[in-house]
Amino acid sequence: MTDEGPTEREQAMRAVELEFSELIAQVRRIIMRNADRVSPGMLPGAYKVFTTIADAGPLTASAIADRLMIDKGQLSRTVRELEDLGLVARTPDPSDGRAHLLEPTEDGRRRLATARAPQEHGLSRALEKWDVSDVRRLADLLHALTHEQVPGAD
């Protein structure tokens, strides 16, 4: 920062930070609404565990803990809660007799689909009037950001 105030780059970085903050807040609201639709009072953390199982399962508890970077004790309590709600079920892991695989129940899949339905096409709606070249550019920029690359420097 100079004596005259923030540089153009600093102003641009602050604008990006602000927009990411808004996006994150919007995603949190969606997750909270979806969690409540799956089961009234469900916490966002339990919803994240459930969606991980539903989207990537069947998984062992260790695989979920590693993927979400959460404490195994907390995960165990959350899985018990999800089982009590009838959303997930355990089956023996055929490759490791000591472990169990977690997967969504049919009721869990149905409830998750119902919860996700209201915003199922939200991104498509938000971008439907954008020029396709702008959508591609957004994807390229996000890819570069998440992979710590310079845009267009393939």
The verdict on 42 and 52 lying in the same domain is yes
**What per-residue confidence (pLDDT) applies to 85?**
97
Question: What is the rounded distance in angstroms from the CA atom of residue 84 to the CA atom of residue 72?
Answer: 18
87 and 148 part of one domain: no
Run means of pLDDT, 10 residues per run, the chain, 154 residues: 81 95 94 96 97 95 95 96 97 90 98 93 89 94 92 78
In angstroms, the CA 62 to CA 39 distance is 25
User: How remote is the C-alpha of 134 from its chain's centroid?
Assistant: 24
In a domain, 3, yes or no: no
Distance CA 76, CA 55 (A): 19
Count how many domains the chain has.
2
Structure confidence at residue 4 (pLDDT): 82
Q: What is the CATH number of the domain that holds 53?
A: 1.10.10.10
Residues 127 and 88 in one domain: no
Same domain flag for 141 and 67? no
Statement to judge: residues 90 and 112 lie in one domain:
yes
pLDDT at 25: 96
Flag whether 17 is in a domain.
yes
The per-residue pLDDT for 66 is 96
- Quote the pLDDT of residue 2: 52
Does 1 reside within a domain?
no
30 touches 119 (CB < 8 A): yes
Specify whether 106 is located in the same domain as 132.
no
**115 and 142 belong to one structural domain:** no
Residue 146 lies in a domain: yes
Q: What distance in Å separates the CA atoms of residue 10 and residue 12, rounded to the nearest whole number? A: 5
Same domain, 94 and 127: no
**pLDDT value at position 154?**
65
The answer on 93 and 62 residing in a single domain is yes
In terms of residue numbers, what domain contains 49?
Answer: 8-119
Residues 70, 103, single domain; the answer is: yes
Predicted confidence at residue 1, as pLDDT, reads: 54
